[in-house]
Amino acid sequence: MSNDVHGYFYEELSIGMTADFSKTVTEADIAAFAGFSGDFNPLHINDEYAKTTIFKGRIAHGMLSAGFISTVFGMKMPGPGCVYVSQALKFKAPVRIGDTVTARVEVIGTVPEKKFVTFKTTCSVSGKIVIDGEATLMVPSNV
């Protein structure tokens, strides 16, 4: 069972297990992400510019929402001790200030000889998928 030190061990995970994390995106989140990533695209930080785009207003950085998937992995399942091997993402819809994003991961496969676990990864807003993807993680073993 997951705990603060190691999370789930490889042997404790099975196909179909899920975990999620939700967060409402704020103005401060977007400003902080721009600051630490260096991505000051005006679509994310300039109201006047963003109104002239197809989105008709500011949107959050896609990787800000994708980061919530990492939160699930690092903090819930598999939890502390896991390491990303790969992540594929498809951005399907914008996320705006005030949207609550729910990141969800589901175990869909395992590679016993490498202790790799493959997950379906999604982010949704009000039930609509905004990011769809797949990730592989290396998960600590207890044997």
**Cβ pair 138, 57 in contact under 8 A:** no
For the chain, count helices (H), then strands (E): 4, 5
Percentage of the chain with pLDDT > 70? 97
Give the pLDDT of residue 37: 97
Q: Which residues are bridge partners to 53 per DSSP? A: none
Contacts for 111 with CB less than 8 Å, ≥ 6 apart: 117, 118
| 3 state DSSP class of 45 | helix
CA distance 24 to 136: 26
**Angstrom distance (rounded) from CA 135 to CA 122:** 10
pLDDT at 143: 86
- Mean pLDDT rounded to a whole number for the chain: 95
Quickly state the pLDDT bin for 64 (edges 50, 70, 90).
very high
pLDDT of amino acid 7: 86
Q: What is the pLDDT of residues 67-119, one digit of tens each?
A: 999 999 999 999 999 999 999 999 999 999 999 999 999 999 999 999 999 99
Give me the percent of the chain exceeding a pLDDT of 90: 94
**Topology given in CATH for the domain delimited by 10-138:** Thiol Ester Dehydrase; Chain A (3.10.129)
